[in-house]
Amino acid sequence: MRTIPLTPEIRNTLVGSFVVIVGALLLFYSSRGSVGNIVGGYHLKAIYQNVDGVSVGTNVMLTGIKVGEVTKLDYVPDGHRVSLTMRIDENIKLPIDSVAMIISSGMLGGKFIKLEPGGELEQLGEGDQFQYVQDAVIFEELLEKIVLDAEARRMEKMKNSAEQTIKPKSSPFGSLLK
């Protein structure tokens, strides 16, 4: 058996070929979607005022497990709302009073749709719309509210402190301010 000497050129060609093949395989599998993609299933709709951070492909979760994904987002001019369509695994049955909430997976994390099952016996079917939804919380607005509340409390403390300082009975100068 004759062996081919492993010159630097041959080695570089083999390594390059290996990298190209692995890259092509990764590209192929990523274009097919993740392992948990929902292929069949049924479609449900939800109308939101704000879908900040949600896009086509966003996960739909039930008790921490992916059960679907967002397939379509449409602007609804009436009331300036957004119609969100999601595909749900056909094995998942949801009561008609279930809630579809847009949840953040952390301060800097992405968003997902969290489903909270209701208690009714009647179930949602193909093309049905959620009666109950919760819009996305925008962290910038939440932080702004927290800062403004803290500032208001600080100003109230300063006002109370100033009132205590210049109380008429607390100092001889207080009676002059009356």
Q: Around Cβ 116, how many Cβ atoms within 10 Å?
A: 14
Which stretch, 20-29, 46-55, 140-149, has highest mean pLDDT?
46-55
Does an H or E element contain 11, and which?
helix 8-32
74-98 burial string, b = 16+ CB within 10 Å, else e? eeeeeeebbebbbbbbeebebebeb
Q: What is the mean pLDDT of residues 40-68?
A: 94
State whether residue 26 is helix, strand or coil: helix
pLDDT > 50? residue 34? no
**Burial (Cβ within 10 Å: 0-12, 13-18, ≥19) of residue 167:** exposed
Please tell me which residue, 36 or 52, carries the higher pLDDT value. Answer: 52
State whether residue 86 is helix, strand or coil: strand
Amino acid letter for position 100:
A
- As given in the structure block, the two tokens for residue 13 are 């060609």
Which residue in this structure is represented by tokens 């719309």? Answer: 129
Cα–Cα dist 170/154, whole Å: 23
What is the DSSP-derived secondary structure letter of residue 53? T
pLDDT in tens, 9-19: 888 888 889 88
pTM of the entire predicted model: 0.59
pLDDT at 35: 42
State whether residue 169 is helix, strand or coil: coil
What is the DSSP-derived secondary structure letter of residue 3? P
Please tell me which residue, 41 or 149, carries the higher pLDDT value. Answer: 41
pLDDT at 55: 94
Domain locations in the chain? 1-32, 42-137, 141-177
pLDDT in tens, 72-126: 999 998 889 999 999 999 999 999 999 999 998 876 778 999 999 999 999 999 9
